[in-house]
């Protein structure tokens, strides 16, 4: 297998791009994909101070490395979740990465600073661990971003993550979530922009990036992710991808380019708009005609944003 660019020995094949890459050109490819995502979705500008949420896994460490290579001013944020050995080793990978590159790193330990860890929070609130974890992390991310005056908060969500979430939201038509499933969420309430610069890279590609770049990372999956339905969606999308390379990227990126706008304001007004549209669907003739005032609004006259 030869590198498509230099004809040297390739380390990875990427059917969706109809290309193979050697180590050097794989790194170049990944960095270019991140650059393209940042440009296309207007995520960052050159002067931004970027806070990167790092977990110790391949995606967030690859993201930190790529943003450094692209010249952004970066600062890592690691949240200690208290998930046994998994958290201990994850923290070690983050610290090692930061010290090797003299990167700025802020650590927040949930138990030490907030008096609880994720297993305890999940048990106490009777939420799923991931739900308690997501809420806790968002709270810490926002606080640190606000206190540090950062311009953007970057997370390592990759194409597999985002496509799986999108599939889950579409399967249930969760329109209020579809509206917010963008790789850039603008700054609001004093909080910085939230960006996902890895949305053009799969987890196979970020893993390969780390291996070639010599980045050591936590390879174990979080033990609390067991049963998470997004893992099943990822497997389904991978099956489709094998049969039809490029489908995963098309599914997610075409949604961003062509469809996400249809769901604007869905969280605040969409439920009413959709229920209004449902009322407007013609019904079977009734024995006595309803009075004019109660007639359902014809679809083509339905107000776009009923208040």
Q: Does 14 bind Zn ion (CB under 5 A)?
A: no
State the residue number with the nearest CB to Zn ion: 3
Q: How far is CA 241 from the centre of its chain?
A: 19
Binding footprint of ligand Q46, residue count (CB under 6 A): 9
CB of 29 to Zn ion, least distance (A): 9
- Strand 152-154 and strand 49-53: the pairing is parallel
Q: Does 224 bind ligand Q46 (CB under 6 A)?
A: yes
Q: How far is CA 26 from the centre of its chain?
A: 22
Tell which one of 22, 61, 201, 215 touches Zn ion (CB under 5 A): 22
Q: Does 225 bind ligand Q46 (CB under 6 A)?
A: yes
CB of 122 to ligand Q46, least distance (A): 8
Q: Are 83 and 109 in contact (CB under 8 A)?
A: no
> Which of residues 3 and 215 has its CB atom nearest to Zn ion in the complex?
3
Q: Does 261 bind ligand Q46 (CB under 6 A)?
A: no
CB of 137 to ligand Q46, least distance (A): 7
Question: Binders of ligand Q46 among 76-95, rule CB under 6 A?
Answer: 81
CB of 108 to ligand Q46, least distance (A): 14
Question: Binders of ligand Q46 among 103-142, rule CB under 6 A?
Answer: 118, 129-130, 133-134
Closest CA to 63 of 181, 189, 190, 206: 206
Burial group, residue 102, by CB count within 10 angstroms (0-12, 13-18, 19+): exposed
| Residue 160 CB partners (closer than 8 Å, separation 6+) | 202, 203, 234, 237, 238, 248
């Amino acid at each position: 297998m030869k590198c498509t660019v230099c004809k040297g020995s390739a380390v990875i094949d990427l059917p969706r791009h109809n290309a193979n890459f050697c180590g050097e050109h794989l790194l170049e490819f990944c960095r270019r994909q991140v650059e393209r995502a940042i440009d296309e979705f207007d995520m960052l500008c050159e002067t931004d101070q970027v806070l990167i949420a790092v977990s110790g896994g391949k995606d967030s460490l690859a993201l930190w490395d790529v943003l450094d290579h692209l010249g952004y001013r970066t600062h890592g944020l690691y949240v200690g979740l208290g998930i046994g050995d998994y958290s201990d080793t994850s923290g070690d990978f983050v610290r090692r990465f930061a010290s090797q590159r003299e990167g700025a790193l802020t650590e927040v330990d949930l138990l030490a600073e907030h008096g609880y860890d994720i297993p305890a929070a999940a048990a106490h609130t009777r939420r799923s661990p991931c739900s308690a974890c997501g809420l806790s992390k968002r709270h810490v991310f926002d606080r640190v971003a606000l206190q540090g005056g950062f311009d953007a908060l970057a997370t390592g969500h990759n194409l597999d993550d985002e496509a799986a979430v999108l599939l889950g939201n579409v399967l249930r038509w969760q329109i209020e979530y579809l509206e917010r499933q963008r790789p850039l969420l603008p700054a609001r309430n004093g909080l910085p922009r939230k960006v996902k610069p890895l949305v053009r890279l799969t987890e196979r590609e970020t893993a390969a990036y780390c291996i070639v770049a010599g980045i050591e990372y936590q390879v174990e999956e979080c033990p609390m992710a067991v049963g998470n339905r997004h893992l099943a969606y990822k497997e389904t999308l991978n099956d489709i991808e094998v049969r039809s390379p490029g489908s995963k990227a098309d599914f997610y990126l075409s949604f961003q380019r062509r469809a996400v706008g249809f769901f604007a304001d869905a969280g605040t007004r969409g439920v009413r708009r959709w229920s209004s549209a449902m009322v407007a669907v013609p019904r079977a003739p009734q024995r006595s005609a309803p009075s004019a005032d109660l007639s359902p609004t014809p679809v083509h006259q339905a107000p776009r944003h009923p208040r």
